[in-house]
Chain A
Amino acid sequence: MSNAALTHGGHISPHSPSLKSRMPMVAEVIDRIQESDKIFTLRLSLHNPEQRQEYRFTPGQFNMLYLHGVGEVAISIASDPDEPHILAHTIKMIGRVTKAMDRLIVGSQIGLRGPFGQSWPLIQAEGGDILVVTGGIGCAPTVGVINYVLMRRHRYGKLTIIQGVKHADDLIWRERYDYWRTFPNTQVLVAADHGGPLWPFRVGPVTEVFDDAGIAPDDTTVMMCGPEGMMIAGTKDLLERGVPEQRIYLSMERNMQCAVGHCGHCQFGAQFLCRQGPIFQYPDVKPLLGIKGF
């Protein structure tokens, strides 16, 4: 004899609508763009029309992409939030999952969970200047921001895009930089630690380029994404130039497994990157930034 009143604890109903499924949705590769040897972009569309209809995201958020039998990986969404039926993800082949994803072709189906995390402060930044600083593949999470601003150019002041790469060969989207330059009040600056033949841009750390950027410290929102060393150097330099701490936003990266703040892998001190991040206001990550082991 089972007594329902007794065997029902009343903590949280297992059928409560707040208990959303952790299961991925099915997404189809509708386009695949080879950006460089090791970098490719997948444009995805959710298979289920209802899910496609309901899906919304804001720039800076990420999805967990799942490759059958291989696993999941966290990838930020690079496309425009006003076209949420097409979700672009730029992926660099580094680990087990991303290497296997290289085999995906148009028509392939993968799993998608998301969106997760906090986004770039694009609403708060309206009316002022925007400085986007990226390094390496860091450019991918900011492409969404750049396109967002370019599509809504009148809402923002000056847009400055600074891209730093280790080597001239690492620069992808060269044509895109040229295209972005054609927009009004938009400046694109590129620097490589190591140049190469016919490298037309600066050679040296990304911070040197700040001199060319003409930053208005009181009126600029900074959005930074790339290797932590670059973000730390960039932040230090910008603070010296008088940019307030609260106006500097960083996109952080840590091991992600669950993306809902449960698995513990993405912790950065008290912060769960998947929930309180991956985009942080600088003061929120300042105490531990650059300390090895966090």
Chain B
Amino acid sequence: MDRTLQSQDRYFLPRQSFQSLIDQLALQGFSCVGPTMWDGAIIFDRLDTVSQLPQGVSDRQAPGYYRLESGGDSRWFSWANGPQALKPYLFPSREVLWEGTVDENGGLSFKERLTEPEPLAVLGVRACDLAALAIHDAHFLKGPSPDAHYARRREQLFIVAVDCSHPASTCFCVSTGDGPAATRGYDIALAELDEGFIIDAGSDRGKLILDQLPLSEVNEEQLDQTRSELDAAIAGQTRALPEGPLNRILFDNLDHPRWDDVAQRCLACGNCTSVCPTCFCASENEVPSLDGLSSEHSREWSSCFTQGHSYISGHAIRPDTRTRYRQWLTHKLGSWIDQYGRSGCVGCGRCIAWCPVGIDLTEEVGAICRESGDE
């Protein structure tokens, strides 16, 4: 059952006591990361005190547009999302997997380069990010070859989610079924009110932290307030993915003229795949030392928008932007369903806001569905 409708096991944490949550996490051995303002955007960074939180700040997002502005209240979470999700904390943009060394006789040896990640608590995780995390868990951990690097970081991750009461114009998590309230996959979840937070635990670890906080009973008025804010957040979303079996519709329309149209606008820069919380493509690269004796084998985020992504035997399977955009969209919204039982899109809208030319995937897929008579 939706936790936002229940009052049992939900408590009230006054705003002036919020620091105690950060302190408790630190006391229990976690490095704490949370939303901070940097270079005009909200990004996750080390969080020691509430004074680092973006107080009274809201974000305005539109296709190709992201600006912070005064939010008109003194809350800390009156914004939708920044360019990052949890992705960089579990699947870093570059990491060394192993290292090869040659001795003077040409003898080769290998050394594992597994990190020992510290316990990490991320505060301010959105419902869309939790949905993306569940997708990456399925991708990196549930297959026949679980990834040790991801597993170690995942093991150490503690999640403090915050319901999203201020979706941006680019958000459409309602249509993907992933938000705006955090409903699963967190250790602690918060709903922000002017005077403080409604708080509940989603795991035994979360309960242990809650036990240490100065909590009081939550009252009906406070619950009503969060419910109506969530209702407004739901009603306020203007974008949506089209209904219908998008895997079938997209693959039935591989020759649709819209692919040519979007290829005229798309720069194939890969911004969308960088900010997408579910894009998992990575290339494996070799970085030899100057003396050539050792060489680091790393994996780095890569993008299906690059020429190298589809390189094989001297040519590229996807030589142009049309085939690359089509690959991205048909995978994200189509074949992903066949692979993981759900769409690869969680409705966070980042690819829309951070696209330098403002391409909107809901618009693109909508056009294909409309013009093919599937909507």
Residues of A participating in the B interface, judged by any CB pair closer than 8 Å: 1-3, 5-14, 16, 18-26, 66, 68-72, 94-95, 107-111, 253-255, 257-258, 260-265, 267, 269-270, 272, 275, 287-288, 291-294
B148 lies within 8 A of A7 (CB): no
CB contacts (< 8 Å) of A258 on chain B: these are 282, 284, 299
B29 nearest in chain A by CB position = A2
B108 lies within 8 A of A68 (CB): yes
Q: Which of A12, A26, A109, A257 contacts B284 (CB 8 A)?
A: A257
Tell yes or no: B326 within 8 A of A by CB.
yes
Known contacts A69-B100, A110-B108, A253-B312, A21 near B27 by CB under 8 Å: no
**Main SS of chain A's interface residues?**
loop
**Main SS of chain B's interface residues?**
mixed
Known contacts A2-B29, A94-B313, A267-B331, A293 near B108 by CB under 8 Å: no
Known contacts A71-B284, A293-B327, A5 near B157 by CB under 8 Å: no
Residues of B participating in the A interface, judged by any CB pair closer than 8 Å: 27-30, 97-98, 100, 102, 106-112, 119, 137, 139-141, 143-148, 151-152, 154-158, 204-205, 208-209, 247, 251, 254, 280-286, 288, 292, 295, 297, 299, 302, 304, 309-314, 317-318, 322-324, 326-327, 330-331, 335-336, 338-339
Known contacts A108-B106, A262-B139, A269-B251, A6 near B144 by CB under 8 Å: no
A7 lies within 8 A of B28 (CB): yes
Known contacts A11-B141, A111-B100, A262 near B148 by CB under 8 Å: no
CB contacts (< 8 Å) of B309 on chain A: these are 255, 265
A6 lies within 8 A of B284 (CB): no
CB contacts (< 8 Å) of B98 on chain A: these are 22-24
CA distance A267 to B282 in the complex (A): 12
Q: Which 6 residue pairs are nearest across A and B when measured between Cβ atoms?
A: A293-B323, A2-B29, A264-B281, A270-B338, A7-B119, A69-B288
A264 lies within 8 A of B97 (CB): no
B143 lies within 8 A of A261 (CB): yes
CB contacts (< 8 Å) of B141 on chain A: these are 11-12
B32 to chain A: closest CB distance in Å? 12
Q: Which of B107, B155, B297 contacts A109 (CB 8 A)?
A: B107
Count of chain A to chain B residue pairs whose CB atoms are closer than 8 Å in the complex:
186
Excluding A14-B152, A26-B109, A293-B323, 14 further A-B contacts by CB distance (< 8 Å) are: A6-B119, A9-B205, A20-B148, A66-B297, A110-B108, A253-B313, A255-B309, A255-B310, A258-B282, A260-B143, A262-B145, A263-B302, A265-B302, A269-B251
B113 nearest in chain A by CB position = A23
Q: List 7 A-B contacts (CB under 8 A).
A: A9-B154, A16-B146, A69-B292, A267-B331, A270-B335, A293-B254, A294-B317
A70 lies within 8 A of B286 (CB): yes
CA distance A14 to B117 in the complex (A): 11
CA distance A96 to B227 in the complex (A): 59
B282 nearest in chain A by CB position = A263
B313 nearest in chain A by CB position = A94
CA distance A23 to B148 in the complex (A): 11
CA distance A13 to B106 in the complex (A): 37
A263 lies within 8 A of B148 (CB): no
A263 lies within 8 A of B283 (CB): yes
CB contacts (< 8 Å) of B247 on chain A: these are 270
B249 to chain A: closest CB distance in Å? 14
CA distance A287 to B106 in the complex (A): 47
A46 to chain B: closest CB distance in Å? 12
